[in-house]
């Protein structure tokens, strides 16, 4: 039997304030979808402002529906895909003693290879009363 922690329970106990900003990186081959799915069910996924998720097993047909569900829920819960990177680009930059700023950032994760893709999600700001961006061109008649 493998010892493990309940990550969503641990995270909910760790966070004491709504002002806390968390940036969480998840890289656990073949387990990230299960952990994230449990966090969606437990309603603890939204405790973090940013998620850096390594989708490691995109070729597995049994994992694909769960991964698509998690990706859809990230969008439904208010997260946008900021950019994607891949492990090959990361290795090349660090071999040349580059920094994270030198890593190619892709806006369309679909063009990346099926393995070693890191997706960087950021929580969208909540807009309660958005400003009016269009003005009415019609003139109202006075009665």
Number of folded domains that form the chain: 1
Percent of the chain whose pLDDT exceeds 90? 14
Look at the block and give the residue holding tokens 């806006």.
107
Examine residue 131 and state whether it is found in any structural domain, yes or no.
Answer: no
**Which has the closest alpha carbon to 85: 102, 105, 100?**
105
Of 83 and 108, the structure prediction assigns the larger pLDDT to 83
Instruction: For residue range 37-74, list pLDDT tens digits in order.
Output: 999 998 888 888 899 998 876 677 888 888 889 988 99
* 15 within 8 A of 83, measured Cβ to Cβ: no
Note down the domain range covering 27: 17-123
Percent of the chain whose pLDDT exceeds 70? 81
* 101 within 8 A of 126, measured Cβ to Cβ: no
Examine residue 76 and state whether it is found in any structural domain, yes or no.
Answer: yes
Of 131 and 78, the structure prediction assigns the larger pLDDT to 78
Instruction: For residue range 99-130, list pLDDT tens digits in order.
Output: 888 988 888 767 777 677 888 899 888 654 44
DSSP three-state, residue 142: coil
Examine residue 81 and state whether it is found in any structural domain, yes or no.
Answer: yes
Examine residue 87 and state whether it is found in any structural domain, yes or no.
Answer: yes
Examine residue 133 and state whether it is found in any structural domain, yes or no.
Answer: no
Q: Is the dihedral of CA 114, 117, 81, 43 positive or negative?
A: positive
Examine residue 95 and state whether it is found in any structural domain, yes or no.
Answer: yes
* 74 within 8 A of 48, measured Cβ to Cβ: no
DSSP three-state, residue 13: helix
């Amino acid at each position: 039997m493998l010892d493990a922690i309940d990550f969503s329970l641990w995270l909910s106990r760790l966070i004491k304030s709504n002002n806390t900003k968390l940036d969480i990186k998840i890289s656990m081959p073949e387990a990230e979808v299960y952990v994230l799915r449990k966090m969606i069910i437990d309603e603890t996924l939204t405790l973090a402002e940013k998620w850096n998720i390594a989708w490691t097993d995109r070729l597995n047909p049994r994992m694909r529906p769960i991964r698509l569900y998690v990706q859809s829920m990230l969008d439904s819960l208010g997260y946008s895909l900021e950019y994607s990177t891949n492990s090959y680009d990361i290795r090349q930059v660090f071999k040349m003693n580059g920094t994270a700023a030198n890593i190619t950032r892709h806006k369309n994760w679909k063009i990346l290879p099926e393995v070693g893709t890191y997706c960087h999600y950021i929580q969208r700001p909540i807009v309660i009363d958005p400003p009016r961006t269009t003005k009415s061109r019609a003139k109202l008649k006075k009665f």
